[in-house]
A and B are shown apart, each in its own frame.
Chain A
Amino acid sequence: MRPVAATNDFVVKFANINGSGSASANELFAKCILRMGVPVSPRNIFPSNIQGLPTWYEVRVSEAGWLGRRGGYDLLVAMNPQTWDADVKGLAPGGYLFYDNSKPLPKFKFRDDVTTIGVPLTDIANQTWDDARQRQLFKNIMYLGALSVLLGIERDVIVALIGEQYKGKQALLEPNVHALDLGRGYAEKNLSPIGLKVERRDNVGDRIFVDGNSAAALGMVYGGATVCAWYPITPSSSLAEAFQKYCAKLRVDRQTGKHNYAIVQAEDEIASIGIVTGAGWNGARAFTATSGPGISLMNEFIGLAYFAEIPVTLIDVQRGGPSTGMPTRTQQSDVMFCAHASHGDTNHVLLFPEDPYECFEFAARALDLADRLQTPVFMLSDLDIGMNHRLCRPLEWDDARRYDRGKVLTDEQLEAGVPFGRYRDVDGDGIPYRTYPGTHPARGSFFTRGTSKNADAKYSERGEDYIENMQRLQRKLQTAKTLLPQPVLHKAPHPARHGAIYFGSTSPSMAEAIAKLDADSMHIDALRVRGYPFVDSIREFVEAHEQVFVVEQNRDAQLRSLLIEQFEIDPARLIPILHYDGTPITARFIAKAIGERMRSAEVRPLRSDKVA
């Protein structure tokens, strides 16, 4: 078997033990390559555990800039004996197995068709440090050093990054650099070069490297959220924690030292959404971050906020469901559920960000939409973009941008005699006017309730009042369509009979799959949906193609169901392409699935009149 030879186009998989300090060394590895101008996309594959269970970190190096998960790996850094057998088995033929050879392993533990690279990491660490924790931590930096020699990663780049990481902490900086050089020294002396290489390029540009949860938290800071209530749940906890961190830096009044924000770690998700509902009712921009199980608990409040028309912003960082499901794996399986959360007839606004850039933008926009529409607005992120660093466009903010606080009557307007009825459709767009509590001594007060009411917010069980209200809520959702981000169209280089619809974190793999299919002369137009309810151009896209593949990361083809529900499209036109094993969807999977169907469609066309 010929060893794999590739420059700037390969996948490295690190197999580690959770809690061993490997995460920061692995992240450093990814960043070094970025600093050399070569795009990477790393993915943490981790267990629901703090210490002891296996964890993996996959780094895809792609000069071409493909950021989706590729699948497979060419270099294995095998640091976990528990998963050794399966990890070694999964290595690509001709790949490289990097391991700690301090303890001899029997021959049957290895493969003949891969190159084995042993470094006595434990021995060197034991000779150098006395402290057990230091031995463990610096072992990670040592393998980074050895790998940098094998792959051609520049030492200066690594040292600069370590310097940034331990800025002002000299005591930590020096031993890290020492560990790096121990690894490099061993490799230079004892190892021969391998077929995988990193070469300097200029393909990163001004892009930034950030996780979606941090970007969403920043979006909430920029968008003006002042109240955040949350309950810890993977994979969304880091979002609320990032909001806390950014607020402590960016939202403390310089003069008074007072906080222009309030964050409650609530007792559960029900209290979280209750706090957000109370704050939204009282005129503060408020949000919660959670995952699917949290949305399950929040359903009653979501129905209340929909029916009583209270601005509420929710971020659902989706994970594998149902029930506890796969807490540390990714899915897009809350789409249907969020679109109709609560008992009774409901319909909610959803936003689907593709990357951290859109997590930032949509988070801020969700706050505007919630205030404008006076309804729950969901941003559906997922573990893949939420918890992994992703290369994306720099975050943008226009200082001229103003918060849209929606239709709120002021003290002056009430004093001037502007008529007020809480649920009257004055403008014909389904959106009523509201007042904040405490505005005017005699005018503008009303009673908010989850029961049916008339247009003046008085309790009513009259069927006419109920229907008028429910129909107005539907009109309001029609108005929502005019405010949501438009879908993004990718036109094939040649006229295409087939289309594909996709959303969210599927985006980078979809782009790569389209390129693969194009290369095989299978052309498809692709439309990335960014919001729900769907705008009419999505229907037009479906109608303009014989068949449309709907690519999503869940079992039940949820986006497809919503498309059929909203547009009453013939289901035969929408072909589900579904990936839901908890790993991020890959271009290989999409291209294969779509390619097979397109080839078979050529044999059996959908419409018989096309047969010659």
Chain B
Amino acid sequence: MTYLPKPKLHHPSLQQNAVGFTRRDYEGAISTLCAGCGHDSISAAIIQACWELDIEPHRVAKISGIGCSSKTPTYFLSASHGFNAVHGRMPSVLTGANLANRELLYLGISGDGDSASIGIGQFVHAIRRGVDMVYIVENNGVYGLTKGQFSATADQGSKSKKGAINTDAPVDMVGMALQLGASFVARSFSGDKAQLVPILKAAMTHKGASFVDVISPCVAFNNHEGSTKSYDYVREHNHALCRMDFISPRAEITVDYPPGELREVKQHDGSVLRLRKLPDSHDTGDRVAAMNYLHACQARGEIVTGLLYVDPEAPDLHAHFDTAEAPLNTLGERELCPGAATLAKINASLR
């Protein structure tokens, strides 16, 4: 973080994207998180992803709960409406917002305390319903804002800064998201921008419940020896599943990949995910294989990152409800009110 605000005026030569915005237009207020916080890297990756995807900033809604992670929507996309709701309840607020207007991109920003502890129920049910959203958990295994208590994703045996050992089994949100039917499940590391940005781009273009777990070391309370969510630990144990390229429907495909190592996934909006498999990788279209792979790596003490599973054809909540194409918040009396003549008939049926 920095206390030196960048000037508001942009240099005229800054590169613009297809919708006429520079990367600076996707920034937010200056972060008040600790210097080196993984969350700031995630904010930067969100900014990069939105700019590269040519998303108009005002067509994004940023919704969060409470905690360090949930503060971050202030630090990106200042032209978007943001909603810092109550602790653990981002998923329900996002669900309601999404029902009201299906045309915006919904970024749900949460943390491991916000989602794996107080908000585990809402996490579960929003994923189950297939709400069209990008659900990002900025996962540091610790309660940063209240100074260093273990969160529910802290690994068994990991050590707190004050020296306490966590004896509780961890909640594995990636495994849960797979089991609950999320149609896009990925994990990344805040320190790996090259992986995180394409994953976020893929999640943002995916229609349906996208879940992205981002391991994000807490430099103040969870970056010490004995922590399993420190920069050093994650770098040592990171097992990248695949390298992913994201190709938007507008971009010309120029890169040539050697056949046999490539899997292309075409998404709902025509964008293509190109997954270059690593030797012992798996099929991202196979939910059961993804769960097996995840657990096998976990048993070896490896942290799998990358895209674990995607179903580009999965129906979302609006498809389940068969809601009108026009956003519900644009409907008026004509569409909504059955009128006095109908009411007279209803009255007659009640006599």
Contact = CB atoms under 8 A, between A and B. Distances in A.
Contact of B95 (A278, A441, A448): A278
Contacts of B351: 34, 206-209
Contact of B92 (A226, A260, A266, A402): A266
A278 B94 contact: yes
Contact of A282 (B61, B121, B322): B61
B63 interface: yes
Interface residues of A, number: 72
A499 interface: no
Contacts, number: 226
Nearest to B28: A447
B93 A258 contact: no
A262 B59 contact: no
Given A259-B323, A437-B80, A402 B333 contact: yes
A256 B324 contact: yes
B256 interface: no
Interface string B82-112: 1111100101111111111101100000000
Interface string A242-281: 0000000011010011111111101110111111111111
State the majority secondary structure of interface residues on B: helix
- Contact-size category for B: 35 or more
A84 interface: no
Contacts of A451: 84
Nearest to B58: A441
Interface string A284-326: 1010000000000000110010000000000000000000000
Interface string A208-224: 11100000001001101
A284 B104 contact: no
Contacts of B61: 282, 437-438
Interface stretch (A389-397, A464-472, A515-523): A389-397
B5 interface: no
Nearest to B81: A437
A261 to B, nearest CB: 7
Contact of B96 (A286, A399, A445, A447): A286
B85 A274 contact: yes
Contacts of A442: 58, 79
Given A274-B96, A276-B96, A446-B81, A260 B322 contact: no
Contacts of A500: none
Given A270-B89, A397-B340, A441-B57, A278 B96 contact: yes
A449 interface: yes
A206 B336 CA distance: 27
Given A210-B350, A218-B346, A222-B337, A281 B93 contact: yes
6 closest residue pairs by CB, A with B: A274-B92, A278-B96, A284-B100, A437-B81, A283-B329, A282-B100
Interface of B: 56-59, 61, 63, 73-74, 78-86, 89, 91-101, 103-104, 121-122, 124-125, 129, 317-318, 321-325, 328-329, 331-333, 335-340, 342-344, 346-347, 350-351
